[in-house]
Structure 1
Amino acid sequence: MDDVTRAAAGIKATEERLARVGPVAGRATSGDGEVVVEVSPGGGLREVRIGPDALRMNTDALAREILALARRAERVAGGQLHHAVSGVLGRTAQEELVALGIERAEDEGDDEAGPLLRRPL
């Protein structure tokens, strides 16, 4: 199999795997559930939801919370993308994702509290 055929087969396999997995996105939620951020791999915002209690926060603090959640969601999305393509992309291609800023994540969950909005104990 020549390089072009091998590359085409890899692209097709990647497309098929991503189609089975569905949309790859990361989501992070503040501890009280008032702020939810969803991003694509690479950090493109897909959704930001802000509840009424969060709107009572200082605007600078709310902005910091949104940015922190977006960074966490980006790590989640990157981890999902790596997981989705790990079976079809070689190590070099996966390293290229990291070089582009799409990092592997270690079990980042959706239920982690953000730095400012935490559930009361």
Structure 2
Amino acid sequence: MTHEIPDDLHYTDSHEWIDDGGDALRIGITDFAQDELGDVVFVELPEEGESLNSGDACAVVESIKAVSDIYTPVTGTVTATNDGVLDQPELLNTDPYGEGWLFEIDGQVPDDALGATDYREQTEE
């Protein structure tokens, strides 16, 4: 199965995506991750204003199959959270790169972030 992997995003080994196209970095889970999880039924997000260090577990996604921690790939302060996914967790399944984003954080894209080509290779193995 081929997963959607937009070329303009950065990716992590733990299947988060990073969009650096705005004032803050927007973070979400990839199409591959949501497919592995199955139907998402619950989402817990970090608090706005919370300080996070890269690698911190900061959110939880619960599906019919599993409960998974989401790790921030960036050190910084959470500037926004997507309340839409709290009310409609299925947005992570239907629109992981759009309405299904999780939170925004001020910070820099990490040096070890993957480009779309490298992430594609990782998920096809």
Q: Give the structure with the larger helix fraction.
A: 1
What TM-score, normalized to structure 2? 0.26
What TM-score, normalized to structure 1? 0.27
Q: Give the structure with the larger strand fraction.
A: 2
